[in-house]
Amino acid sequence: MATNDTRELQAKEKHEVTHPAEKTRPGLMFTPDVDIFETDQALTLLADMPGVTPERLTIDLRDNVLTISGEATRSAGGNETPLLVEYNTGTYYRQFSLSEIIDQDKIDANLKDGVLCLTLPKVEKATPRKITVTAQ
């Protein structure tokens, strides 16, 4: 699908979420915007997580539930006073349930310019065998 380049981007508020478990650390939690697409070979997930560095990103996969969690570093210096606050920073958190067809050992994650790219390869299908029936 071609992207519509002439469109004006609209300001969108971040979706704030409450953590399913009780929080032990202060701070806000947001749902990152994601694109997920599937090809014959793999499932690709792209997530916007601005301000997250690879050290502060955790990707966890257990019981077929993929959890992405990344903490955005506060970019403002210590002695700066805010004049205008239009967005808040916090932790990005989102969970997805995966199907069995994902080859969980070959998952590849790449974080660049605040965008996480997660490649989830599908399990190679058993090659179909042709059985020839010989008639006597």
Partner 1 sequence: MIYRSAFGLPGWNIRNAFDELNRMRRQMDQLFDSMSTGSQISYRSGVFPAVNLTEDSEAYYVRAELPGLKADILEIEATGKKVSITGQRQIPSAGQNAKYHRRERESGRFSRVITVPGDIESAKVEASLSNGILTVTLPKAEEARPRQISIR
- Asked if residue 33 binds partner 1 (CB under 8 A), the reply is yes
In this structure, the number of other CB atoms found within 10 A of the CB of residue 42 comes to: 18
Distance of CA 98 to the CA centre of its chain: 13
- Asked if residue 97 binds partner 1 (CB under 8 A), the reply is no
- Asked if residue 6 binds partner 1 (CB under 8 A), the reply is yes
Between CA 66 and CA 75 the distance in angstroms is 28
**Is the Cβ of residue 64 or residue 73 nearer to partner 1 in the bound state?**
73
- Asked if residue 128 binds partner 1 (CB under 8 A), the reply is no
Among 52, 57, 96, smallest CA distance to 74 is for: 52
Could you list the residues that contact partner 1 (CB under 8 A)?
Answer: 1-13, 26, 28, 33-40, 43-44, 46, 48-53, 73, 75-77, 79-88, 113-115
